[in-house]
Structure 1
Amino acid sequence: MKKHILAFTSLILGLICFVTFNIIGGKVEADGTLTEPFFLLPIGYIFIFSGIILLISIIFKRSKRSLNLN
């Protein structure tokens, strides 16, 4: 059960990173430089990718365990 919590927490944190990036937004300063929280995008992708990998591994282990019981 704890593995499910870790996977869903990772997915939720990834979504929070993307939502936060869109809420903060970007702006162009007077000197022409772009200011935006770009670091949230790769962090969000890493969280979502790790959550998907964890969910796939949980499903794979569960199906393998059920096949061994029969």
Structure 2
Amino acid sequence: MKKKYFIASTPIFLGVICFIAKAIIGSNITPDGTLEEPFFLIPIGFLLFFLGIVSLIGMALVSMMKKTQVSN
């Protein structure tokens, strides 16, 4: 895999790690009745995941445009 695709796909891996960390950490209820959970990992995971998808699509489009310009 080319280096630019690896860099573009890194946010996807980080997003998946956020979801896995949320599942591993879990949630609990304290004795006073409040819920403790790592909720911040969910939006960060979605943001990183979709940022990675957009960057991969952008890299693929740029690569396709460069190939068509070279062949013409």
With structure 2 as the length reference, what TM-score do the two structures score? 0.87
Alignment of 1:42-57 (within 5 A): 42-57=43-58
Identity of aligned residues (%): 41
CA RMSD of aligned residues (A): 1.1
AA partner of residue 19 (structure 1): I
Give 1:5 deviation, angstroms: 2.0
Runs of 4+ more than 4 Å apart: none
5+ long unaligned stretches in structure 2:
none
5+ long unaligned stretches in structure 1:
none
Give the number of equivalent residue pairs: 70
Q: Partners of 2:8 and 2:70 in 1: how far apart?
A: 25
